[in-house]
Structure 1
Amino acid sequence: MARKQFDLIVFDWDGTLMDSTSTIVKSIQAAARDLGLPVPRDEQASHVIGLGLHEAMQAVFPGIEPALYAKLVERYRFHFLTKDPELVLFDGVREMLTELSQNGYFLAVATGKSRVGLNRALNAVGLLSLFHSTRCADETFSKPHPAMLQELTRELGQDLKRTVMIGDTTHDLLMANNAGAAGIAVEYGAHPVEQLQSCQPLFSAPTVAHLHEWLSGNA
């Protein structure tokens, strides 16, 4: 059966497939406490989810001594890793990805995580074999630069016009816009719905079930 709109479906990871938003926020806040820096509010910390880790720290803690950024990254990783084994996929994600794979879509991940972090997470939840390719922030430009999507489509021989990026942040949706791909928002992650809507996504999913239903009928 001919595809309706898309051949390649690209997912963000944290806050889109994995329920990790609150853990990331708490890890950023704990890193700040460790170094005696002002602790960011929840909304400040959650806004940078999806960016590369160094870019995220620079956005949350502008104007601090440059040498402190590397220390913030190290303390963040320490705190996140202590919680990493507890993280789980959102309900319905595994079933949705399995169905999309069985229906012949190319599946990929574009994430602000590091390569080591993403591989660890994929192995932990047993999803590595479902994705044709992945891109991480320490391998190319951070979102919202279009490079991740451009590189994924080139690698997989796909067309950006038949590619959709699915994510919970404006960083994801702006990357899609910048690349000339479609964007779909999920409303259960890091950024408020009104911010997501400002990026004019093709669809906005309140839950994984809504996302699964939309993809089954429209992708």
Structure 2
Amino acid sequence: MNSYKLLIFDWDGTLMDSVDQILYCMRAAIGDLELEPRTGQQIRDIIGLGLHEAVETLYPGREPEFAQVMADRYRHHFLSADVTVADLFDDVDILLEQLRSSGYLLAVATGKGRTGLDKVLNETGMGAHFHTTRCSDETRSKPHPLMLEQIMNELDCLPEQTLMIGDSEFDLDMANRAGVGSVGVSHGVHSCDRLVSHNPLGCLDRVADLHSWLSDELSKSA
């Protein structure tokens, strides 16, 4: 088992229990534009993609300007003071403190835009834990590997030193394309039954269990 140097986390559904918040904002944007509704599962299945890619998946074949208009309406609702702030999953703050104390480099690779990620990092106070972050509006959307490649280059880490942790098939597919190991977590949008098809090294019920999982894996290789 590799001794990892860099741990890259997805945000929504992995560190933050924000699925209901995303569902609300997307449904509100759909209502604003009087579009044909989409089911909760259809919306859950696009969580993790960049916002433009998510819109194009939900409403394919529209004119290019449509994705921008809908993305703007989604951001309006997400950034509104009326939207309830989502909570971190239990013990995420403890996990990140443990991992930093153990010497890991920590990063975020998210389908959020920069404004949205900075907002939640500020609200939760978690920004100081991460050595770098990358958002979908700064690079290619998942599952393209560019997001991971840029983070590894910035922090001078090799794929074999890097582990991606995420709750969606997009996260694990991206890791595979980048030649990076992955761990799935099942408390977000996709179940372990779906995640295992992308061959993660493990699938956890809680992201807070990652530190003990890493310790167990290291002890096996000792």
Task: Give the TM bin, normalised by the shorter chain.
Answer: over 0.9
Q: In structure 1, how many angstroms separate the alpha carbons of the residues matched to 2:174 and 2:154?
A: 18
Q: Give CA-to-partner distance per residue, 1:150-192, whole Å, 9 cap, x none.
A: 1111111111111000001011000000000001100000123
Q: In structure 1, how many angstroms separate the alpha carbons of the residues matched to 2:163 and 2:203?
A: 13
| Corresponding residue of 1:92 | 91
| Corresponding residue of 1:20 | 18
Q: In structure 1, how many angstroms separate the alpha carbons of the residues matched to 2:153 and 2:2?
A: 21
Amino acid aligned to 1:178: R
Q: In structure 2, how many angstroms separate the alpha carbons of the residues matched to 1:99 and 1:11?
A: 15
Deviation at 1:53, TM superposition (A): 0.5
Give the paired residue count: 217
Tell which deviates more after alignment, 81-90 or 131-140: 81-90
| Corresponding residue of 1:114 | 113
Give % identity.
46
Q: Give CA-to-partner distance per residue, 1:78-120, whole Å, 9 cap, x none.
A: 2222355521111110000000001110000000111111111
**Contact 2:160–2:180, Cα closer than 8 Å, also in 1:** yes
Q: In structure 2, how many angstroms separate the alpha carbons of the residues matched to 1:64 and 1:147?
A: 26
DSSP 3-state at the match of 1:196: helix
| Corresponding residue of 2:69 | 71
Q: In structure 1, how many angstroms separate the alpha carbons of the residues matched to 2:116 and 2:208?
A: 26
**Contact 2:21–2:84, Cα closer than 8 Å, also in 1:** no
**Structure 2 runs not aligned, ≥5 long:** none
**Contact 2:14–2:188, Cα closer than 8 Å, also in 1:** yes
**Contact 1:52–1:142, Cα closer than 8 Å, also in 2:** yes
TM-score (norm. length: structure 1): 0.93
Q: Give CA-to-partner distance per residue, 1:123-171, whole Å, 9 cap, x none.
A: 1111111111111101111111111111111111111111000001011
